[in-house]
Amino acid sequence: MICLYFDSGIIPDLRNKDATKELISSLPFFGIKSCFIICTLETLPLFKDLKAQFPYLDFYSRCILHPNDIESLKRDIKKYSNKFDLVSVQTHIPEILNFAARDSRFHILCLRTKDEWSAFNAGIGSLAFQFSAGVEFPLDFLIKTETANSIMIRLCRKAVNIALHTNAPILLSSFATSKFDLIGGQEIRFLANTILGIPLGTGQKIISFFPQLVLKKNNHQLAGKEEGLRVITNSQEMKKI
């Protein structure tokens, strides 16, 4: 099977080795070769063991910060930035999203709830475009009967539309905790188009180009201008693809 799809966020129970192995072993069946694995400082050593166990898959460690204000965000980033491949921020406070979007130490703005979707605006989207910060919309709410309602879909779609119009790099992730939550690449494109109003061409970028854009931003941050590495900027490349 040819694996083309990049899942921007799964959440395995790393302490449960059997459940984690079952989830990770199912990734190729869904066409997933690469993914960001969400973990914590406590489970980070287990993530490293997981990478060694599945060398044919590409894993990147990712943490999610939930700051109450900018000062707490500044404190947290000092603790997390050099330990994880990617650092993401989840909040309903526009000022924090604005700060994180323009700070190169943060790679993803995670918008998972109706308050967080409402907090997202064109100014934040423009900063995300300018600084290649991924704007993530986890799709786990669509598979839960208690949250998959028309109001939630409408609010999410409104935030997605802002991201589209500001050319922000959109990420759609499964936030899978088991193999039953995984979503294949073609299914992502279908859901993106039919439910969230994302053009099919952009849907292809979501499962391939945009996650790589976020990674390249981090590679540049960690390694500087390495020989042969050119950081893709939104203004140069995103409109060409």
Supply 25's token pair: 């072993």
For the residues 89-112, what does the mean pLDDT come to? 97
Tell me the CA end-to-end span of the chain in Å, nearest whole number: 25
The domain in which residue 133 lies consists of 5-238
The pLDDT score that the predictor gives to residue 227 is 36
In which region does residue 31 sit, left (phi positive, over 0), alpha (psi from -120 to 50) or beta (all else)? Answer: left
220 confidence band (pLDDT: 50, 70, 90)? low
* pLDDT for position 149: 82
What's the Cα-to-Cα distance from 215 to each of 16, 17, 83, 118, 209, rounded to whole Å?
28, 27, 15, 27, 10
Interval 127-156 mean pLDDT: 89
Structural domains of the chain, count: 1
Model pLDDT for residues 6-21, shown as the tens digit of each residue: 999 999 999 999 999 9
Gap between the Cα atoms of 163 and 133, Å rounded: 11
Compute the distance between CA of residue 41 and CA of residue 7 in angstroms, rounded to an integer: 21
SS3 category, 60: strand
What is the mean predicted confidence (pLDDT) over 218-241? 46
- pLDDT for 221 equals 60
Return the residue matching tokens 């199912």.
26
| Dihedral angle, C-alpha 88, 94, 99, 102, nearest 10 ° | 80
What pLDDT score was predicted for residue 224?
45
pLDDT confidence of 144, banded at 50, 70, 90? confident
Structure tokens of 230? 């050119």
Give the CA dihedral 230, 131, 171, 12, nearest 10 degrees.
Answer: 80
Q: What is the CATH number of the domain that holds 149?
A: 3.20.20.140
Mean pLDDT of 39-52: 96
| Predicted pLDDT of residue 238 | 46
Supply the pLDDT for residue 150.
Answer: 87
